[in-house]
Amino acid sequence: MNIPLIIANILTILAFAVHTFMGDKELRIIEPKDESDTDFLKREKWTMARCGWHWISFDLLFVSLILFLINFTDFFDSKNTILQILSLYFLGYSIFWLFTIFISKDFPKKYFKLGQWILLLGISIFIFLGIK
């Protein structure tokens, strides 16, 4: 039993659930209600942002499935290669998240209020620690 990989798997499943359901609820806070937007530009941009949001939801679900298969089956032959890629993938997510915060306008405690980078980095580390 590979405890770091199981922790990473649990984190990705929880992140998927929170991202999908609570995240969509939060997105609805900024949903355009302006009836004067006759060209539907705000609606189009919001819908595109929502699609992008759930693209990430799918990423989290897919990684959860891959980690489940690695943790509990012999489905893959090259588990270590897949884990190395996933570890780099989440490290990349973390770096891009931090960079986007860095280039965005400042507000108090922005690195902690938008602390998803911590989760992404944690998942990366747990996957890395689980490589045999």
54 has a pLDDT exceeding 90: yes
pLDDT digits (tens, 9 = 90+) for 97-114: 999 999 999 999 999 999
39 has a pLDDT exceeding 90: no
Query: What pLDDT sits at residue 40?
Result: 86
Query: What pLDDT sits at residue 35?
Result: 78
Q: How many other CB atoms are there within 10 angstroms of residue 34's CB atom?
A: 8
Please, what is the angle between helix 79-103 and helix 116-129, to 10°?
A: 160
* Contact partners, residue 67, CB within 8 Å, separation at least 6: 5, 8, 9, 12, 86, 127
Q: How many other CB atoms are there within 10 angstroms of residue 5's CB atom?
A: 23
DSSP 22: I
CA distance 97 to 13: 20
pLDDT digits (tens, 9 = 90+) for 62-105: 999 999 999 999 999 999 999 999 999 999 999 999 999 999 99
Asked whether the whole model's pTM tops 0.75, one would answer yes
38 has a pLDDT exceeding 80: no
